[in-house]
A = this chain, B = another copy of it.
Amino acid sequence: MRSIGDAAYLDVDLTKGTVTARVLPESIYRLYPGGSALATYLLLQEMPAGADPLGPDNILVCAVSPLANLPIAGISRMTIAAKSPLTGAIGDSQSGGYFPAELKKAGWDAILVRGRSERPVYLAIHNDKADLRPADHLWGKITGEALDAIHAEFDPKAEVIQIGPAGENLVRFAAVISMLNRANGRTGMGAVMGAKQLKAIAVRGTKRAHLVDPEGVKALASSITARLKENPEVTGLGKYGTAGAVNAQNEAGGLPTRAFQTGHFTTAEKISGETMYDTILKERDTCYSCAVKCKRVVAVDGRVDPKYGGPEYETIATFGSYCGIDDLTAVAEANQLCNMYGLDTISCGATVAFAMEMVEKGILTAADTGDPDLKWGNAAAMLRLVKRIAHREFIGDLLAEGTARAARQLGRGAEQYVVAVKGNDLPAHMPRVKRSLALIYAVNPFGADHQSSEHDFVTAFPMDHWMRKPLNQVGQFPMMDATELSLDKVRFALVTQQFYSITDTLGLCQFVWGPAWQVFGPNDVVALLKAAYGWDCSLFELMQAGERRINLMKVFNVREGLTRADDRLPDRLFEAIPDGPSRGLKVTRAELEAALDAYYAMAGWNQAGVPTGGKLDALQLSWAKTLLPTV
């Protein structure tokens, strides 16, 4: 008999063609309460060590927030995790939209996919019913067409996550797309689905939330919503969306430009959120139950269809400044291509930029690339290359392997120009400016990530007063010193990483729940979990869950053979920024090594970066000790 606090998941064996409902008891679920923690737990339990990421032994898990179906802003999110074909480490990606709530309404907290189907299939879920259906007719289709077909043949109201041709073609940074305009983008989860011949998962859920205290949830929802609407820090995001960051980053010298060669892009204004708002923005979109509406919808007649959404800040940077491109329409078109073909916009843009730098450095020639126009600032060549990557055509076949693998295959000194950690391309935040990111980019188990910790530009942080400096003269929290990776900053990085680890576990949108903690925040989550599940947990318990997830991910990586040597930064970050507001800033190798020493020690890991037995015991992960190599 399943109780309210238990988790239910579908165990899909593509090799056998079976779908089995399973229950994870509350006693386990509360240790790994949803999202990334639950996905990592299941992955580590079920995937044999050394699995080929593109083979049948890899496991893919989709896991939603335990609160995903509640009528509250910013809690309808989902993690997709698997061993990453891009990095060989744990893969992890997040997205919002409407799929997570729909899956939860169908009664499921997670989906585990194992094996490999002989033929393309998709998984169709209608509440308790779930079955695998042929997808031969969908294979090769872009996302817009496949979505229409699934809506037509399964349920017009179904929410769908799917891969596009890029995933089918095993592009190592292929994404999983939902609603045509959201992506579980990072670390190549789309390639894992492609390798398994799983085109899509469609779900229709009509169940009402089964809650311990429905009135309590309702009251909290009203209270949180009211506070949210009054909070300009959150609602302010609505106007320009994440694209509002373009100008701010550029002014700080933190807008990665020409593959991180510099942090200032002279014509950034042309690709800014403000310019988008004034020109191609058609409307604003939202995720389930969210009033913020940060999502962009853009339209350009004949070139950009609004159904594919609009570019986020990261996408603008990677296809824009990373490539020296200031053509906003071209950026929006690249965004559309990625959503049609199922590509991670960050890695895809970074890969195009890498190719452009290869040309600049003479490592690739026009003969190699098949495109004499492929150089900094050329939007048309950028768009051509995106399509070639998706289809693995010409040089796109090499680049579809990701920058790190491509550079290794190229030789000729190409590797020094790879701007990635563990093979995962750097998101559009500059570690030479936000120094704590240098550390987090290095240590984050799934490679460089910008949403796994608080950045240096912290305005307020709920967990620990001591991570910020005293109020300045005008009563604001000044940003931390950008030019040092001090012991305080290492601790700041570690603790905020643990907090953000909760957000990716409980499926909290960081744009909603991150900045506004004084208005609503962790204590509301504690109250929600109590009202929804009767869990009498505490912020302490949640912080432990966050730390538990990070340690579990680390155990996964150690088991897969990663070492301290994989917690390293690309060469580029050790070069001084040559111009702009952040001119002269660089990370030093000694600084990074000292920070790694300190981070590992503070984390309760040994100096090889492996969690100690005591730390695993303290986190109730004693079972995971057996997964580590004996020293």
Contacts and interface: CB of A to CB of B under 8 A. Distances in A.
Interface of A: 27, 30-31, 460, 462-466, 470, 487, 490-491, 494, 518, 522-523, 526, 535-541, 543-544, 598, 600-604, 612-615, 617-618, 620, 622
Contact of A617 (B463, B598, B613): B598
A465 B614 contact: no
Contacts of A27: 470
A430 B355 CA distance: 71
Given A30-B466, A614-B604, A617-B601, A522 B538 contact: yes
Given A491-B618, A601-B612, 13 more contacts: A460-B536, A464-B540, A465-B535, A465-B536, A487-B617, A487-B622, A518-B536, A523-B523, A602-B614, A602-B617, A603-B614, A604-B604, A604-B614
13 contacts: A30-B465, A462-B536, A464-B540, A465-B541, A487-B622, A540-B540, A540-B543, A598-B614, A601-B614, A602-B614, A602-B615, A603-B614, A604-B614
Given A620-B491, A622-B487, A538 B463 contact: yes
A56 B112 CA distance: 68
A601 to B, nearest CB: 2
Contact of A600 (B31, B600, B614): B614
Nearest to A463: B540
A494 B618 contact: yes
A617 B488 CA distance: 8
B601 A466 contact: no
Nearest to A546: B540
Question: Ordered nearest first, which 8 A-B pairs have the shortest CB separation?
Answer: A601-B614, A602-B618, A539-B539, A602-B614, A540-B543, A463-B540, A464-B541, A602-B617
A604 B617 CA distance: 11
Contacts of A615: 601-602, 604
The count of identical subunits is 2
Contacts of A464: 537-538, 540-541, 544
A466 B602 contact: no
B539 A540 contact: yes
A614 B614 CA distance: 14
Most buried by B among A487, A526, A614: A614
Given A487-B617, A540-B543, A543-B540, A31 B602 contact: no
A491 B615 CA distance: 11
A536 B601 CA distance: 28
Nearest to A521: B538
Contacts of A544: 464
A185 to B, nearest CB: 30
A308 to B, nearest CB: 41
A463 to B, nearest CB: 5
A518 to B, nearest CB: 7
Contacts of A487: 617, 622
Most buried by B among A31, A518, A602, A622: A602
Nearest to A537: B465
Nearest to A607: B614
Contacts of A536: 460, 462, 465, 518
A530 to B, nearest CB: 10
Contacts of A535: 465
Contact of A462 (B491, B538, B543): B538
A248 to B, nearest CB: 25
A24 to B, nearest CB: 15
A470 B3 CA distance: 13
Contacts of A494: 618
Given A604-B604, A614-B603, A31 B620 contact: no
Contacts of A465: 30, 535-537, 541
Contacts of A617: 487, 490-491, 598, 601-602
A539 B622 CA distance: 25
A598 B601 CA distance: 18
B604 A466 contact: no
A544 B46 CA distance: 35
A463 B541 contact: yes
A600 B613 CA distance: 11
A543 B463 CA distance: 11
A233 B58 CA distance: 52
A27 B464 CA distance: 12
A491 to B, nearest CB: 6
Nearest to A522: B538
A3 to B, nearest CB: 11
A591 to B, nearest CB: 16
A236 to B, nearest CB: 21
Most buried by B among A526, A540, A601, A615: A540
Contacts of A601: 612-615, 617-618
A31 B466 contact: yes
A185 B535 CA distance: 39
Nearest to A622: B487
Contacts of A543: 540
A151 B148 CA distance: 89
Contacts of A613: 601
Contacts of A540: 463-464, 539-540, 543
A78 to B, nearest CB: 24
A612 B518 CA distance: 34
